[in-house]
Structure 1
Amino acid sequence: MHIGRHKAVLGALAVGVLALSACGTDQNVTNADLNPELRQLEVDCGDESVAAEGSSAQKNAMDVFARDFGVKCPGKKLNYTASGSGKGISAFTAGQVDFAGSDEALTTEEAEPARKRCSGNPAWNIPMVFGPLAVTYNIPGVSDLVLSPEVISRIYQGEIKRWNDPEIQRLNSGTDLPNIPVVPFYRSDESGTSANFQEYLSTATEGLWTGEGKTFRPENGVGQGRSGTDGVTSSVEQTEGGITYAAWAFPKNAGLGIASIDSGNGPVELNSESAGKAIESAEIAGRGNDLKLDLESIYGNDAPGVYPIVLATYEVVCSGGYDPQTARSVKAALKVAAHAGEENLEQAGYVPLPPEFKSKVLGAVRAIEE
């Protein structure tokens, strides 16, 4: 059985995403247009298209994967519905889709229904999509800014109120910081971005930050809530002294300032290499081919050159229980996804899998039973 935009500058992001989405169905894209690794990749495509659903945080990466899958497996599609992690897990356990995208690994409560859906085989969490979170700001005349997790926490706790505060100045010696108010913005809606940002702050400050979960919890009266990534980013763009946290693609494409993070061993700029180092050193909390991550090993990584604010999202798959053709198609889609090129992923706001980590992911994909 088969179990199977409001501002022109922010419009640049939409244009980039539309371009990638268009590539997903562009009949003119050929194997020659793919990155060298993908061009040489041999794929057993199976006979099925693949259906998946879940996390909106990985939707733009899925557009990249879908385009590449369509090229490597002509006539097959990877169809992804960005309905949110919870709905994706529900659709997966109900057997409505072949795998789920999720901002979090399966919980203990979700694992048993997933096992039943997989004909008694455990479901695996495969971390495939990594999107850095940027701390973005609008300070006139300041193009380079360094912040620490402690300073960020104290801003949202209302303890640091002006940009020339001594704690910020110490991190930015030689920079003329203006005596203007710090205007924090945060997500007012429930958000996986907020959950991960708060977990980062709590881990990196060893408990100085106490907020947790999908509802961001600043000190009472501190900051202004806005709905969605677009809402907080546009507010910073329009507000001198503004600061917020957001998925990398939004401030990057809007041309906003993005702070370097000093975790105690010098400032680290956000780029694919520095975020990739955080992924490379991530520890696995799951067993065998269940690659559930120990997020503290990412968020608490204070090694030189590591940018630690990286949102990991998973593909939740059956380790067995698919019919043979569906299993081959799912494995093909995931194999192609693991080889996605840096340029397209970075344009969409993600970073590619580092080589050693990618080998773990591919090992889990190969181990899915047919």
Structure 2
Amino acid sequence: MKLQRSGFVAGIALTASIALTACGSDNVPTAEGGSSAAPGSCISGSLTAQGSTAQKNAMDEWIKAYQGQCADSKVDYQGTGSGAGIEAFIAGTADFAGSDSALKEDEQPLADAKCVGGKALNLPMVIGPIAVVYNVEGVDGLQLSPSLLAKIFDGKITKWNDAAIAAENSGAKLPDANIETVHRADESGTTDNFTKYLSKTAEADWSHSNGKAWKAPGGTGASKSDGVATKVKSTPNTISYVELSFAENSDLQTAKIKNGAGEYAELSGESAGKTFENAEVKGTDGDLALSLDYATTTAGAYPIVLVTYEIACSKGSTKAKEVQAFLKYTASAEGQKALGELGYAPLPETLRAKVEASVAAIA
């Protein structure tokens, strides 16, 4: 079943107690094609950033609206992948980075070293549901359990008409065709989150640890999210994982995923938000790294979600004021409101307020 964007937006309004209010006197005319522009004062200058492709569409929208208000402010964000973004931040060639995963233990001290007298913060900014997409003629509403999904991507199930797939899809006309799995060829936080989901929910069937680099044998690699979507769209009998916005843009079929409550949940704003409601903040002192419950037993929850972070210095960056001004907009109610039309979900209001407070403390 293909997800309709209007249903996604409607679902967002029903979940996670999202309160999106106007910003009063801070409102200014809307940038062409975007949301109303950034609240607060503009800071002249330029920013260079890169990283997560999962949030690239959100960044493009934010930058257009922000620069629509702040004519003397320039933001250049390149979707190079989460791993490349973090490397650029550590190397000092990115003023902030986008990542689909919080900094790892070995990355944190290297990133902190770039923040004179401060530390590198993980600031959740975008909720991006991960769709399991497929291209199998005549098969609508494919249903997959975590175990079945793990076996497919680990090369243990290789035919679409395998008895295990048929057992979870009664009545489906499954072809006698080889399954071609597609994964990210570049290091990606989307891969990290997808394999983390498999590690947490199908430990007996997934024999690899999670990570930004794909570790399972076989399959076909494609670069970045748009490359994955293009490969699946153009190649029969493929299956992969990609952020919802890219699945929608390419009009790809999305599978229903069995959750901890035993239901095959269809991907929607409401179902993704139900999983996100259980996220816990594990960071301290302004760091907002989150812990997600991929095995949530919440009824109706779609369990494969990711959160994209902006990695920025709490203080000590030579571009601190410019970074703060831009992230004030992305974390604002108006900035978050823009996400619903792009295949993302706005942050729940309680978390959004925490992100806003962390950004306000950047010095």
User: TM-score over 0.5 for the alignment?
Assistant: yes
Change in 2 beyond 3 A, CA 1:335/1:274 = farther
Q: Please, what TM-score do these two structures have when normalized by structure 2?
A: 0.78
Distance in 2 (CA, whole Å) between partners of 1:140 and 1:54 is 34
Equivalence for 1:66: 63
Equivalence for 1:248: 244
Give the partner amino acid of 2:322. S
Change in 2 beyond 3 A, CA 1:145/1:83 = closer
Distance in 2 (CA, whole Å) between partners of 1:156 and 1:177 is 21
Equivalence for 1:315: 310
Identity %: 40
Which consecutive unaligned segments of at least 5 residues does structure 2 have?
A: 1-27
**Residue correspondence of structure 1 range 247-326 to structure 2 within 5 A:** 247-265=243-261, 266-294=263-291, 297-322=292-317, 326=319
For residue 290 of structure 1, report the CA deviation from its aligned partner: 0.5
Change in 2 beyond 3 A, CA 1:122/1:251 = closer
Change in 2 beyond 3 A, CA 1:274/1:92 = same
Distance in 1 (CA, whole Å) between partners of 2:308 and 2:216 is 25
For residue 318 of structure 1, report the CA deviation from its aligned partner: 1.5
For residue 344 of structure 1, report the CA deviation from its aligned partner: 5.2
Give the partner amino acid of 2:187. S
Runs of 4+ in 1 over 6 A off after TM superposition: none
For residue 167 of structure 1, report the CA deviation from its aligned partner: 3.5
Q: Please, what TM-score do these two structures have when normalized by structure 1?
A: 0.77
Give the partner amino acid of 2:76. N
1:268-327 C-alpha deviation (Å, 9 max, x unpaired):
211233223333321122113101122xx243334222222223222111112246xx54
Which consecutive unaligned segments of at least 5 residues does structure 1 have?
A: 1-29
What is the DSSP-based 3-state SS (H/G/I as helix, E as strand, rest coil) of the residue aligned with 2:40? Answer: coil
Structure in which a larger fraction of residues adopt helix:
1
Equivalence for 1:196: 193
1:134-184 C-alpha deviation (Å, 9 max, x unpaired):
1112232232222111111122344434444443344334x4333433513
Q: Confirm or deny: 8 A CA contact 1:272 1:352 kept in the other structure.
A: no
For residue 114 of structure 1, report the CA deviation from its aligned partner: 3.4
> Is residue 2:304 matched to residue 1:330?
no
For residue 61 of structure 1, report the CA deviation from its aligned partner: 1.9
Q: Confirm or deny: 8 A CA contact 1:44 1:328 kept in the other structure.
A: no
Change in 2 beyond 3 A, CA 1:285/1:143 = same
Give the partner amino acid of 1:333. F
Which of 111, 132, 137 is 2:134 aligned to?
137
Equivalence for 1:15: none
Give the partner amino acid of 2:242. A
Equivalence for 2:54: 57
Aligned residues: 332
Give the partner amino acid of 2:300. G
Change in 2 beyond 3 A, CA 1:131/1:263 = same
Equivalence for 1:187: 183
What is the DSSP-based 3-state SS (H/G/I as helix, E as strand, rest coil) of the residue aligned with 1:132? Answer: strand
1:159-214 C-alpha deviation (Å, 9 max, x unpaired):
434444443344334x4333433513222623313332211111121342122334
Q: Confirm or deny: 8 A CA contact 2:83 2:212 kept in the other structure.
A: no
Give the partner amino acid of 1:241. N
Distance in 2 (CA, whole Å) between partners of 1:142 and 1:177 is 6
Equivalence for 1:176: 172
Distance in 2 (CA, whole Å) between partners of 1:217 and 1:39 is 42
**Residue correspondence of structure 1 range 332-351 to structure 2 within 5 A:** 332-338=325-331, 339=333, 345=339, 348-351=342-345
**RMSD of the alignment, in Å?**
3.1
Change in 2 beyond 3 A, CA 1:62/1:229 = closer
Q: Confirm or deny: 8 A CA contact 1:186 1:225 kept in the other structure.
A: yes
Q: Confirm or deny: 8 A CA contact 1:137 1:256 kept in the other structure.
A: yes
Change in 2 beyond 3 A, CA 1:275/1:333 = same
Distance in 2 (CA, whole Å) between partners of 1:35 and 1:281 is 34
Instruction: Name whichever of 279-288 and 145-154 sits farther off.
Output: 279-288
Give the partner amino acid of 1:256. L
Q: Confirm or deny: 8 A CA contact 1:187 1:228 kept in the other structure.
A: no
Distance in 1 (CA, whole Å) between partners of 2:329 and 2:39 is 9
